[in-house]
């Protein structure tokens, strides 16, 4: 007989450690990067929340403008993505599968023309942030392109909505 202990269930089991979120089931609290999720939902835009998760802090006005502009530059999809979405519609492919296929066409390589963006990301990269440098650029490519993918999936739209933000409704300030 060996002394292996079997833990039934997940009580006391730590699957991962992160400073990005904290779940207090007893108190009914979900904290994202230091902010209660309800507070974040009411006061932060989608882009501000993404910035918070990626870089560990909410952006100031200038950073937010630059972040939105950078995502907008990444809206365009390769032609093959539109073809895939059309083919998926013809074959009545499951919507999540169609989105997954189109996302697979997005380049994971850097689109940043400004090398300081990558340098800044690398500088900001630490144990408390989710992404940095090349990974950050790939994540921005996906985040920038995904609204176009969804729009194309929904109505066959073939152009990126460059001027729109991610939310129809701005949060209360």
Partner 1 sequence: MTQPRALIIEDDDPIRMMLSTIVRHQGLSVDTARDGIEAIENLDKDGYSVVLLDLMMPHVDGYAVLAHMREHQPELLHRTILATAVPQHDLDRNLKDPVYMIHSKPFDMQQLIADVRHCAELDAA
Q: Which residues of 37-64 are buried (b: 16+ CB within 10 A; e: fewer)?
A: eeebeeebbebbbbbbbbbbebbeeeee
3-state class (DSSP) for residue 35: strand
95 to 134, contacts with partner 1 by CB under 8 A? 97-98, 100-101, 104-109
Residue among 100 and 123 whose Cβ is closer to partner 1: 100
How many residues touch partner 1 under the rule CB under 8 A: the total is 19
Give the range of 20-28, 53-61, 94-102, 144-152 binding partner 1 by CB under 8 A.
94-102
- The angle formed by the CA atoms of residues 154, 41 and 155, to the nearest 5 degrees, is 5
Selected from 83, 156, 158, 161, the binder of partner 1 by CB under 8 A is: 83
Give the range of 62-70, 83-91, 149-157, 160-168 binding partner 1 by CB under 8 A.
83-91
- Select from 37, 44, 39, 45 the least CA-distant residue to 21: 37
Q: Note whether 152 binds partner 1 by CB under 8 A.
A: no
> What is the maximum alpha-carbon separation in the chain?
67
Q: Yes or no: say if 27 and 21 are a contact pair by the CB < 8 Å rule.
A: no
Selected from 43, 93, 110, 120, the binder of partner 1 by CB under 8 A is: 93
Residue among 104 and 156 whose Cβ is closer to partner 1: 104
Residue among 53 and 134 whose Cβ is closer to partner 1: 134
Output DSSP code: residue 86.
H
> At closest approach, how far in Å is the CB of 33 from partner 1?
25
- Select from 70, 78, 86 the least CA-distant residue to 103: 78
3-state class (DSSP) for residue 23: strand
Which residues in this chain contact partner 1 in the complex, by CB under 8 A?
A: 79-80, 83-84, 87-88, 91, 93-94, 97-98, 100-101, 104-109
């Amino acid at each position: 007989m060996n002394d292996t202990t079997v833990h039934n269930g997940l009580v006391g089991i730590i699957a991962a450690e992160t400073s990005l979120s904290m779940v207090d089931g007893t108190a009914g609290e979900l904290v994202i990067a230091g902010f209660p999720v309800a507070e974040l939902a009411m006061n932060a835009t989608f882009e501000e929340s993404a910035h918070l998760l990626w870089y560990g802090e909410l952006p100031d006005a200038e950073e937010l403008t630059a972040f939105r502009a950078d995502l907008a530059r990444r809206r365009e999809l390769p032609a093959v993505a539109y073809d895939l979405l059309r083919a998926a519609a013809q074959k009545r492919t499951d919507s999540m599968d169609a989105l997954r296929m189109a996302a697979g066409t997005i380049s994971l390589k850097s689109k940043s023309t400004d090398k300081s963006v990558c340098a800044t990301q690398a500088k900001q990269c630490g144990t408390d942030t989710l992404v940095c440098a090349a990974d950050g650029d790939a994540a921005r490519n996906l985040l920038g392109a995904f609204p176009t993918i969804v729009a194309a999936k929904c109505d066959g739209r073939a152009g990126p909505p460059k001027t729109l933000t991610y939310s129809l409704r701005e949060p209360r300030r």
